[in-house]
Structure 1
């Protein structure tokens, strides 16, 4: 099994691609697109079939990236 940090390296961000939104391995497949497919109920197998350039590790990286983005401290000014 790959380390989490190795999976995280599969997510790329470039100002010249997809408006600077996070993508998978420099492909024009956005993290948000993969998350939307998963959220709509698509299985990993269905996504891999529809997007043959993706690998299973890419989908795990997308999920890890989303989890890290959602896990941040919220500071409230008093």
Structure 2
């Protein structure tokens, strides 16, 4: 498993195992190593470092006008990089397009 797949360079891909976002021609490859998925934690929703804090919680707090410092104060076990990666993941998900694969 490489960072980005060259088999389908036109697809926006996310590899949960390597936690990379890949876009056409390797133009965008971000490491999202703090975003985790575990069916036993928050029902498999994307979480921050395996904790019971979801990406949706972070994005929701930011959307309601909370500052990064306020969030860190409310959740002292989070770091600024956690907030950045949560926002990056949410932005990617908002732009994601599912294209059905047809096998011949």
Q: Which has the larger radius of gyration?
A: 2
Structure 1 residue ranges without an equivalent (≥5): none
| CA displacement at 1:9 relative to structure 2 | 1.0
Distance 2:47 2:82 in 1: 10
Distance 1:72 1:56 in 2: 24
- Residues 17-57 of structure 1 deviation map (CA, whole Å, 9 limit, x = unaligned): 00111100001001100111000000000000000000000
Matched, 1:57 2:75: no
Greater relative CO (CA pairs within 8 A, separation 6+): 1
Q: Which structure dedicates a bigger proportion of its chain to helix?
A: 1
TM score, norm. by length of structure 2? 0.64
Q: What secondary structure, in the 3-state scheme, does the structure 2 residue paired with 1:27 have?
A: coil
RMSD over aligned Cα, in angstroms?
Answer: 1.5
Matched, 1:4 2:30: yes
TM score, norm. by length of structure 1? 0.84
Partner of 1:37: 61
Number of positions where the alignment pairs a residue of Structure 1 with one of Structure 2: 71
Matched, 1:47 2:76: no
